[in-house]
Amino acid sequence: MSLVRVDHVSFGYTANRRILDDVSLDIAQGDTIGLVGESGSGKTTLLRLLLGLTRPDSGTITFDGQPLDPRNGAFMRDFRRQAQVVFQDPYSSLDPRQTVQSIIAEPLRSLKIPGDHTRMVGDALEAVGLDRDVGTRFPHQFSGGQRQRIAIARAIVPGPRLLLADEAVSALDLTTRIRIVDLLAGLSKTMSLLFVSHDIGVVAALCRRIVILEKGRIVEAGDTAAVLANPQHSYTQRLLASVPRLTLNKVPS
């Protein structure tokens, strides 16, 4: 059974320009999906719709068979606990005036999740590869990669079934990026992952399925290996061709 079902969803900030046009997408329990597209293709808008932050103009989005409806407070609280997000910019996603402990515990406090919050935050910090005792420190005392780990800890602390990652490794340097991708790959064993990216290489390494978005439409979708081996749509072919490769003879001496 699918965890999330996006059914013929369209959305536009103004009437005459559509950001998303008749998008349908299923995320199965335990699935890892890469959502690939250029800037402006509607990836982030789709993510906002999936998080229930914006409502579609037409079509429905269901989670666990129930439609996302901001007016249904009890359901939305349960949904917030089950669907969490990690953003691109680790410098903008952590409140600079809160301690790490307070940042990671926010979902626990706001969603009124019972339990020993200090212990749960410590567990989350350990799960993302940080020390349990960094909770008293502030975000500016961490590097970009460490901040992204803190953001991931905040996302996993309520025990979500769906993790949405919006370009979560794009702002990181190469070696840090590999470590965070490894971390997400580990997490994807216990939860569904929608990994939004313009980096087709990272998606190939991380995601079982791939969805290609161009100008608000899904132009191609399927198993990552199959799609990348034999791209059907011209846009996918162009995307693949534009992946930079390390060709030594082209490096000037």
For position 81 contacting other proteins by CB under 8 A, the verdict is: yes
Site string for other proteins, 173-202 (x = CB under 8 A): ------------------------------
For position 80 contacting other proteins by CB under 8 A, the verdict is: yes
Residue 19's φ and ψ, nearest 5 degrees, are -80, -40
Closest approach of other proteins to the CB of residue 80, in Å: 4
Closest approach of other proteins to the CB of residue 110, in Å: 4
Rounded Cα gap, residues 148 and 168, in angstroms = 8
For position 223 contacting other proteins by CB under 8 A, the verdict is: no
Rounded Cα gap, residues 218 and 237, in angstroms = 14
Rounded Cα gap, residues 88 and 94, in angstroms = 11
Site string for other proteins, 126-165 (x = CB under 8 A): ------------x-xx---------x--x---x-------
DSSP E strand stretches across the chain: 2-11, 20-28, 32-36, 58-63, 66-67, 83-86, 162-166, 192-197, 209-214, 217-223
Side chain identity at residue 143, one-letter code? S
Applying CB under 8 A, the residues found at the interface with other proteins are: 51, 53, 76-77, 80-81, 83-85, 87-89, 92-98, 103, 106-107, 110-111, 138, 140-141, 151, 154, 158
